[in-house]
Amino acid sequence: MSGVMERTLAILELLGEHPEGMQVSLIASELDMPASAAHRLLKELSQFGYVRQLRNQGDYALTIKLAGIGLAFLARTGVPDITQPILERLAADTRELVRLSVIDGEDLVWVGVAQGAVAGLRYDPGREQGIKVHLACSAGGQAWLSTMSDEEVLAKIGAQGLTADFITGPSAPTTITDVLKSVEEARARGYAVSVDSYHAGMGAMAMPVRSSETGAVIGCLSIAGPAVRVTPEQMYAFFPLLKEAAEEIGAASEASFFFNRNRTQAPETKTETRQAG
């Protein structure tokens, strides 16, 4: 790894994955850079308030400054104000976890969440806000891929990778053929399904969110929970609620400059979609 900017951003991203902090030597080893270079960059980041040393000669960790910038930006986009009431209502109606991901450049990123399961067994990932969605193994990712041509799907998977950098469930796709099959099923069904794929024991469904004005895809909306409860039959029953919420977000998105700036031409698909429910 070379270049001051590349190394600096790599350090920030790595520390973002380790909120408890890391030793300089471990940071240097993980990023394949000299320990002296890592130490110098950490000192500079510390001077600007982005990292701090937990104790004298101890580990380095991110401060809240970077997160604060992100939260301030997200708040000013209007996305939480527009979408959170809709997410909360859908979560209350389904009594499961509801998440919204939005397209940011070439990526799909988790930005909103609402938990509807108030007791008993529930799925609650906790740390996925602001994280890029892994396209191949998640319902949200497959929902986005279902709006693309097979050639575009191959390009997306090729860029991100078929295998996730975290432990996935036993049914996670292992070949591009598996992904294409799931994407084709999502096109025909009207929503994507992921069971024991993103995480073991988790069932999820998702569908694209489109601008009501242009039809362009701006994100994906998903419902997830324990697979013993979020069964294929239950997903079918949830579909009208999911569709209504996605359409409402699509209509409300016209008020946000973030959604407007990220809109692209609505893709054309050759596959006819059967609307469930």
Domains of the chain: 4-63 (1.10.10.10), 77-262 (3.30.450.40)
Collapsing DSSP states into helix, strand and coil, what is residue 253? helix
For position 105, what pLDDT does the model report? 86
Highest mean pLDDT among 44-53, 57-66, 187-196: 187-196
Q: Which tens digit of pLDDT belongs to each residue from 254-271?
A: 766 666 665 544 444 444
Q: For 220-253, give one letter per residue: b (16+ CB within 10 A) or e.
A: bbbbbbbbeebeeebbeebbebbbebbbbbbebb
> How far is CA 149 from each of CA 17, 162, 250, 267, 268, rounded to the nearest angstrom?
33, 17, 22, 8, 8
Provide the pLDDT confidence category of residue 119 given band limits of 50, 70 and 90: confident
Strand order of the β-sheet with 202-210 is 107-115, 97-104, 217-226, 202-210, 192-195
pLDDT band with cut points at 50, 70 and 90 for residue 127: low
pLDDT at 66 over 60: yes
User: For the chain, what is the radius of gyration of the CA atoms?
Assistant: 20
Q: What is the pLDDT of residue 265?
A: 41
Phi, psi of 203 (to 5 degrees): -115, 140
Tokens encoding 114: 């609402």
